[in-house]
Each structure stands twice: as structure tokens, then as C-alpha cells.
Amino acid sequence: MPNSLEQLKSTGTVVVCDSGDFATIDKYKPQDATTNPSLILAASKKPEYAKLMDVAVEYGKQHGKDLEEKVDSTLDRLLVEFGKEILQIVPGKVSTEVDARFSFDYQASIDKALHIIDLYKSIGIEKERILIKLASTWEGIKAAQTLQSKHGVNCNLTLMFSLPQAIAAAEAGAYLISPFVGRILDWYKAAMKKDYSPQEDPGVSSVQAIFNYYKKYGYKTIVMGASFRNKGEITELAGCDYLTISPNLLEELYNSQEDVPQKLISSDASSLDIPKKSYINDEALFRFDFNEEAMAVEKLREGISKFAADAITLKDILRKKVEG
């Protein structure tokens, strides 16, 4: 009997590995891989990745007028070096994240995204294999709209916790979105002081609602559930377009023989009664409707701060190496 991971793939879900630790990726044969500053920080502390650090530091020393510019250049190159290695393992795409401190800066997000694409190109990797990750703020969504429509750069809108964010992202023409599951569960467990089964998990419900909205209204944007706390959250979303899963949960699925029936079915969405909304040309409405969801507001704020803090920690490590 096929294991649970193979069964998940057979429901039509594309499995993506959520890790910067590419030594662990190959076993599970994912299509794509996703990274973020926190994952790169964790991986970069391992001795087997020292050579990537060396390449990035050498590059950074040559690029920048002062130390801080050199450190920025080093970080960008490090992200791209990890991406390059991952692309030798996965057949599809890798997601590389724009620095979270640009989450509220439309133009800086675009400039950084295009710089990352140029860096990949300089080492022989075309933009078709890259997804630029941007936070699902108003500015991030509008930056994705410009990158997609004017530059042909595919974007992954991340830190997504609500339907308003998802609707605006689809209207922006984003290639892919990453609605978070586990972080939503974390918030509800803390707020409601109770546990949730996978069937009643509010994070699972959020992705189901986004999936159904997209399928009902014919949006092509890929829904990629992310941030899982347990195997049950994953199997409840069997049939979702993509799921990006950490190596420890991939291992659990790989070692499990439990049945994984398809739960999300595109054609079922057409009969659902879901009101259509539009946000992409109405910033005030987007901000208001998003603001109505306390969990989403808190989790977006927290996610941006955490990614920004981990990028700073990584830069501190790189600064010492650039100075050395």
C-alpha cells in the first residue's frame, strides 16, 4: 500500500518542501521548495553550508560602498546560493523571500525582487524557476501585481491569514499564495483556551474557504497551504493545489500508511454560495475588511517582525564575516 505522502500526491496535491536544509529535501521528491529568512538562518548555522556562506561573503566584499551595503549584498547572494543548490534537487521552482523590512514599501519591494532575479540570472538561473516571496500587505500585493504584469516575475504572496488578502492577491494576478494554517491554529488555541481537531481546525477552514473562493470564481492563482503543526492539518487539505511541508512532517507522512482521501475538490466549489468581493482598486476597503480580523492583523504583524528579526540576526553573522 502506498504511504500517506504518495497518497497525498495522488489526490492531485503538489508537494513542496518547506526548508532551507536541502540535504533533507531529496528523499521526499517534492516538486518545489520554499525558503524564508528563518529557515535560511537555521540552515546557515550548519557546517555543511559554510561553502555557500563563503561564496556570498566574497561577493558581498566586492559589492557595496560601505559595510552595510556589503552586508546587504552578502545576504542577497546567500539567499540566491541556497536557491541555486535547492534547484539542483527539485525539478520545479524555489521561493526566495524579499526582506520583510520592505513589507510596507511598494517600490523597495519591486526593486529588491528584480535585484534577486538579476542575481539568479547572473549564475545562470532564469526567472521561470523563481518565485519571489512577498508579505501579503497592501504594498506587497500591489508590488506583486506590478512584478507579474510588467516584469513577468512570478510571486508567492506569503503571511496570508485572511480571505481579503487572498482575494486581493488573486486580483493582482499573483502566481501563488501561501495561506498559513498552523499559525492561525496557534492564535485560536491561545485566544479560546481550547484544542481543535483537524476537522474543526480554524487554519484548515481558512485555506478551504480560500480554495473554494478561487475555484468558484475561476482564479488561476495557485493555493499553497503552509505552516503546518500536525499531520492532520495536511491530510484535511488533500486535494489543495499545493502544500508546502516541513521535513519532519514529510517524514511522518512518508512513514504512515493511513488513508488520505481527497478532501478539496475544485468542481464542488461552483455550487457554493460565496459572495464575490473586489479589493485591488480599493485600498480603504481592503484595509477595513482586513482590520476586522484580529487574528489576521496580529499574525501578519508578528510574522513580519519575526522574519525581519531573523534577517537581522543573519546579517549580524554575515557582518562579522565581511569585516573579517
Give catalytic residues, as residue numbers.
133
Which long-range contacts link 271-280 to residues 24+ away (Cβ below 8 Å)?
272/212, 272/216, 274/212, 274/213, 274/216, 276/217, 277/164, 277/167, 278/167, 278/171, 279/164, 279/167, 279/168, 279/171, 280/141, 280/145, 280/168, 280/171, 280/172
The answer to whether 95 touches 32, Cβ cutoff 8 Å, is: yes
CA terminus-to-terminus distance, the chain? 55
Amino acid present at 9: K
DSSP β-ladder status, 222-225 and 242-245: parallel
Within 13 Å, how many C-alpha atoms sit on residue 219's CB side?
27
132's grid cell: 519571489
Could you give the CA distance from residue 153 to residue 133 in angstroms, rounded to a whole number?
11
Planar angle of CA 290, 296, 301, nearest 5 degrees: 105
Could you give the CA distance from residue 92 to residue 157 in angstroms, rounded to a whole number?
18
Helical H runs in 104-255?
106-122, 138-151, 163-171, 182-192, 202-216, 231-235, 247-254
Closest CA to 143 of 128, 130, 132: 132
21's grid cell: 536544509
243's grid cell: 502544500
